[in-house]
Each structure stands twice: as structure tokens, then as C-alpha cells.
């Protein structure tokens, strides 16, 4: 039995052994043995369970009505860390059938406190006496009901106590990737809980040392006649957090709540102490992080959220233009000449000419891509503003008034001309015949007075004869027309 602690340490010692006192039967005879161990706290570095800091005391799980840490209330605020957990249970002859049932109940109760699943905790059971039997591997069951049913079917082997062989078998066969254990990169702790009531009959210390060196964390639970020194050789450091002892199998079930605390992390998301403005995500080990609802981004304080620019994220789906709204939402718009479709995302070209907003002076021509251009009537040219029109050829317009020929002099001017044998009159529009008069023009000196008079007489005589001929022609036409009428 360890030496009594000095008086100045009595308050701390009392707090240390108080949970163990509650585990002992009220009428247990004989002197009280004070084991030198206590439960583990939260996981430390490298993903393995570590000593709980003193400051974590205010968040410690409440005691149940029986005085044992844990209970139904604790199950509501704790989330177990993912583990590859192997139970190594002693079923030698010294363990009576009823006591072995108590061990299986103890295992099932621990399973009840864990989050079981392929991505959470995986469980295997190694049964041993003088021989070793792997009842099921880590990969066999992924739900609590199936696991507990498999545990209930285990039967004792009923011979010697080969604890070293059991640990070696667990290390070689149960904690392998082929059997369902997760690899070193997963950072999932490998934990073994060995339950025994006797002294090992083989060299357990060397095997346990190799198991610990391989990364397996060993807990030793001793019952009744279990050898305390052997338990210490098996368990990982610190021993006071990895060695458990109870005097009878009748109270071993109460240790399940101790392991619940060991493998359980307080969940601030459930407790409501996270201070996340939107969403709290539990990361296990009592850790969490905040996230924001869709359309928001986490601020630098990692707790509050601000509306994000959906347009800047380029996930808006707008075909043309995304317009960010102040509320953290957005809406789509279209380029000029397009209209938004019913899906409020895509755009279709609109007919600017039909809308009457084109500004074209003469003609609006609609283009296929939702644009348009202006054109002018024939005889006009489009101005530099691409909207208005100016006359290009007055002759082509047909409004020039020339009797014979219209000659264009540029963009907006023209003059009239006459066919050969005609001359332009003073109105600059109409023409008169000049062919006969030209033939009568004398080649004599027109400057002489006699010649001029003679020329004038000839012209007058010619005109008289021409008029006489025209009168004869008109009379003949009238007579002809009269005769046709009176036939």
C-alpha cells in the first residue's frame, strides 16, 4: 500500500480518490486500498489522449446520481473522438460465467458512450486465456447495435492467462490496415483496453513495451486478484491515468463512465458557448469552428459573418451582367438591346427598331445580335452621326423638273440640259428645237448689215412657210377626224 500523503496534500488527494471511493461497495470488508491512478483528460498532441489541464475543470462533465462522472446528461454534451479501439478481455478459468457477463456489459456500456462508425470510432474484441481469439475486427461492425450483439455472443475460453500473447496478437492482427485500422496519416489514435483479474503467465512487459512503441495506447483494468505491478507494466504513461482497479466484477460497469470522460470532449456547439453568429461546427476534442450561411463570409474574428459579393465569386450564373445587392444577394441584367428571360439569368436580343427608340431619320435595320443600324432612302447618304440623312443625287430623286436631261453637280446640286437639236430655254428647265434654224444660218459675214437683214428675211420667210405647212396639216387632221366621226 502506498505511503500516506503529507497533510498539506490531503485536499488534492481527496479530490483524486473521491470518484474511486464511490465505486467501492458500501459493505466491502477489509482495509481500504488506495490505488495510485486516476482517469485521463482530453487528447493532447499527436492526436493521443493527454492530461487535462487544471483550467478545464469548469467544463468537466457533471456527476450522475450515483456519484460517478458522466451519466445521461453528459452524453448530451460530449462527442467521442474517433478511435481504433480494441478490447482485450481475460476469459480464463478464474473469471466465472456471471463475472464474464459483467465484463461484456462493461464493454457494451463503453460502446454506448462512443460515436461508432467507419469515420468515427471502430471497435474490435480480442478474447484470451491460454489461447487468443479475435472475436471480430475493427472493420466488421459500424453501428452500436451490431457491435453490442457481437459482444453478447462472446463465450469464455476458460484456461490460463496469456496477457502478453493477447497483446501481441492485437498488435499483429487487430491493429492492421487489412483488419480495418486506419493508417498513420489519418492521425486516428490506436487504443487498447485490457481487462484481467490475474497475473500474466508470460512475459507481458516486453510485448507491452513494443505495443506502446508502435503507437498503441494501453489501458489496464484490474479486477479482484489482478497483479498491480503487472498492470503497471502493461499500461502507457502516465500510469495514474492509464491504470484502473476495482475489487469485484460487480462494480466494473461503473468504470464505463470513466472511459466516457476519457474519450469524450465537451462540445461547445451543443453547450451554446461557441459565439458563432451563424453556424457552429464541432471538430471533436472540445474544439469547434464557425461557418456562415450561404451568401456570407466569415470575418477576421472567425465568429461573425458579412454578406459576400456573389457577383465577385463568379457563381451567379448571369449570362451578361451580375448586380450585387446590399443584402448579400444579387440579380442579373442584360446588355443594351437584350431583355432578361424568365429564368432571370439568360438574355435574348430585343428588336430596337420595333421599340421606336432607334433615332434613325429614314430606315432602321434590326441586326441579329440585338443591335441595329440606320440606312437612308435612295438618293440620300447617311451622315457622320449614323442617324440622319442628306441628299446624295437630286437628279435621282426625280423632282428636278428638267424637260430633257438632269445633270448632277455634286451631293445636292444639279442643272438641266437638252437633247441634241434642242436648246435650253430661259427657264433653264425646258428645251426648244433648233435644227432647221441652224441649217439656215449663212456662212456669210454676219457682221454686215445687208447680210444680217438678208438672214432675217430668210428666217422670217422660212417661219412663214413653216407656219403655212403646219396650218395645212392641222386642216387635214381636222377634216380626217370629222370624216371619221360622220361615217
Q: Which residues are 80's β-sheet partners?
A: 264
Neighbours of 435 (CB within 10 A): 9
Q: Is 258 helix (H, G, I), strand (E, B) or coil?
A: helix
Strand partners, 332: 322
Quickly count: other Cβ atoms within 10 Å of residue 299's Cβ.
13
What's the angle, vertex CA 177, arms to CA 174 and CA 179, rounded to 5? Answer: 40
306 grid coordinates = 458579412
In the 8-state DSSP scheme, what is residue 8?
Answer: G
User: Is beta strand 347-349 parallel, antiparallel or unpaired with respect to 84-90?
Assistant: unpaired
Asked if the domains 24-266 and 352-392 are classified in one and the same CATH topology, the answer is: no
The string of pLDDT tens digits covering residues 147-203 is 999 999 999 997 889 999 999 999 999 999 999 999 988 889 999 999 999 899 999
Architecture of domain 352-392: Ribbon (2.10)
Q: Are 190 and 181 in contact (CB under 8 A)?
A: yes
Phi, psi of 439 (to 5 degrees): -70, -25
User: Which backbone phi and psi does 284 adopt, to 5 degrees?
Assistant: 80, 170
d(CA 29, CA 44): 39
Question: 397-439 belongs to which CATH class?
Answer: mainly beta
Three-state secondary-structure class, residue 235: coil
Least confident of 70-84, 364-378, 403-417: 70-84
- Domain ranges, ordered by start, for the chain: 24-266, 352-392, 397-439
The domain defined by 24-266 folds into: Rossmann fold (3.40.50)
Confidence of residue 435 (pLDDT cuts 50, 70, 90): low
Q: Give the Cα separation of 257 and 128 in Å (integer).
A: 25
CB 159 within 8 Å of CB 130? yes
pLDDT of residue 436: 55
Q: Which residues contact 176 (CB under 8 A, 6 or more apart)?
A: none
Q: Is the pLDDT of residue 19 over 60?
A: no
- Measured at the alpha carbon of residue 106, what is the angle toward residues 282 and 241, in degrees to the nearest 5? 65
Residue 133 three-state SS: strand
- What DSSP designation does 240 have? G
32-89 tens-digit pLDDT: 333 444 333 333 333 333 333 332 322 333 333 333 333 333 444 566 778 999 999 9
pLDDT digit string (tens) for 300-328?
999 999 877 878 777 888 999 999 887 66
Helical pair 144-152 and 97-112, crossing angle rounded to 10 deg = 170
206 pLDDT exceeds 50? yes
461, 468 Cβ separation under 8 angstroms: no
Amino acid at each position: 500500500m502506498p505511503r500516506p500523503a503529507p497533510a498539506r496534500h490531503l485536499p488534492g488527494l481527496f479530490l483524486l480518490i473521491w470518484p474511486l471511493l464511490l465505486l467501492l461497495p458500501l459493505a466491502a470488508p477489509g482495509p481500504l486500498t488506495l490505488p495510485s491512478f486516476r482517469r485521463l483528460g482530453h487528447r493532447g498532441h499527436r492526436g493521443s489522449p493527454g492530461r487535462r489541464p487544471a483550467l478545464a475543470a469548469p467544463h468537466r462533465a457533471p456527476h450522475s446520481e450515483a456519484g460517478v462522472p458522466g451519466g445521461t446528461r453528459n452524453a448530451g454534451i460530449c462527442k467521442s473522438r474517433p478511435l481504433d479501439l480494441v478490447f482485450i478481455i481475460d476469459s480464463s478459468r478464474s473469471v466465472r460465467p456471471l463475472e464474464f457477463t459483467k465484463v461484456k456489459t462493461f464493454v457494451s456500456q463503453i460502446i454506448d458512450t462512443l460515436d461508432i462508425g467507419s469515420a468515427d470510432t471502430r471497435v474490435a474484441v480480442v478474447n484470451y486465456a491460454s489461447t487468443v481469439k479475435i472475436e471480430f475486427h475493427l472493420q466488421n461492425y459500424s453501428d452500436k447495435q451490431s457491435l453490442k450483439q457481437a459482444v453478447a455472443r462472446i463465450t469464455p475460453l476458460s484456461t490460463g492467462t496469456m496477457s502478453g500473447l493477447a497483446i501481441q496478437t492485437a498488435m499483429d492482427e487487430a491493429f492492421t490496415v487489412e483488419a480495418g485500422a486506419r493508417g498513420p496519416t489519418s492521425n486516428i489514435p490506436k487504443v487498447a483496453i485490457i481487462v484481467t483479474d490475474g497475473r500474466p503467465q508470460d512475459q507481458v512487459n516486453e510485448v507491452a513495451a513494443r505495443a506502446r512503441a508502435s503507437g498503441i495506447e494501453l489501458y489496464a483494468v484490474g479486477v479482484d486478484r489482478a497483479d498491480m505491478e503487472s498492470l503497471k507494466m502493461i499500461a502507457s504513461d502516465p500510469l495514474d491515468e492509464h491504470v484502473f482497479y476495482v475489487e469485484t466484477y460487480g462494480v466494473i460497469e461503473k468504470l464505463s463512465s470513466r472511459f466516457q470522460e476519457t474519450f469524450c470532449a465537451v462540445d461547445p456547439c451543443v453547450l451554446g458557448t461557441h459565439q458563432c453568429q451563424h453556424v457552429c461546427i464541432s471538430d471533436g476534442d472540445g474544439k469547434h469552428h464557425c461557418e456562415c450561411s450561404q451568401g456570407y463570409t466569415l470575418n477576421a474574428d472567425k465568429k461573425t459573418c458579412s454578406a459576400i459579393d456573389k457577383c465577385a465569386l463568379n457563381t451567379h450564373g448571369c449570362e451578361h451582367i451580375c448586380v450585387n445587392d446590399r443584402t448579400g444577394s444579387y440579380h442579373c441584367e442584360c446588355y443594351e438591346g437584350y431583355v432578361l428571360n424568365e429564368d432571370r439569368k439568360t438574355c435574348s436580343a430585343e428588336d430596337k427598331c420595333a421599340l421606336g427608340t432607334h433615332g434613325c431619320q429614314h430606315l432602321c435595320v434590326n441586326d441579329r445580335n440585338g443591335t441595329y443600324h440606320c440606312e437612308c432612302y435612295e438618293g440620300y447618304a447617311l451622315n457622320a452621326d449614323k442617324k440622319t440623312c442628306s441628299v446624295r443625287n437630286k437628279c435621282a430623286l426625280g423632282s428636278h423638273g428638267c424637260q430633257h436631261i438632269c445633270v448632277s453637280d455634286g451631293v445636292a446640286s444639279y442643272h438641266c440640259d437638252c437633247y441634241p437639236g434642242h436648246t435650253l430655254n430661259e427657264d433653264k428647265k425646258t428645251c426648244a428645237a433648233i435644227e432647221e434654224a441652224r441649217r439656215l444660218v449663212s456662212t456669210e459675214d454676219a457682221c454686215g448689215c445687208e447680210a444680217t437683214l438678208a438672214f432675217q428675211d430668210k428666217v422670217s420667210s422660212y417661219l412663214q412657210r413653216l407656219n403655212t405647212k403646219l396650218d395645212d396639216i392641222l386642216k387635214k387632221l381636222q377634216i380626217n377626224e370629222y370624216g371619221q366621226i360622220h361615217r
